[in-house]
Structure 1
Amino acid sequence: SATPATVAAVDSQNVLLWEEFSGRFEAVERVELRPRVPGAIESIHFREGSLVKKGDLLFIIDPAPYIAEVEKA
């Protein structure tokens, strides 16, 4: 004997798959920046998390104490 089955019409439509996850991103590599000279930072030229490359200007340290030492010498 046959098994009864239901039939439905196929409707074609675009479907947007959306999933939400809670979490956070963390860099694969971290770098600690340390100046070679002491001084007050005048300005910062990057944003935390941004990509930087060799030679990029990152900070400007107040040059006044160094200029004074040169003039004194």
Structure 2
Amino acid sequence: MSDKSDHTETRATATDPRLLEQLICPVSRAPLVYDRERQELVSKRAQLAYPIRDGLPIMLESEARVLDESAGS
């Protein structure tokens, strides 16, 4: 039975990529790009990166990281 609980725990913290494809930037209304490594949703138009915490996208401008334009995202 531990296999079932392990699977449930993984699903609870995993982010569904299909969900992420439906989200748009609340500031620019542009599509977002999922950065799996950083666990962020990136708005290139708004130059913001929204964090994903415990599998949930935090779509608040006040929580977003401002992208460094010189880094090329």
Return the TM-score normalized by structure 2.
0.28
Greater share of strand: 2
Return the TM-score normalized by structure 1.
0.28
Greater share of helix: 2
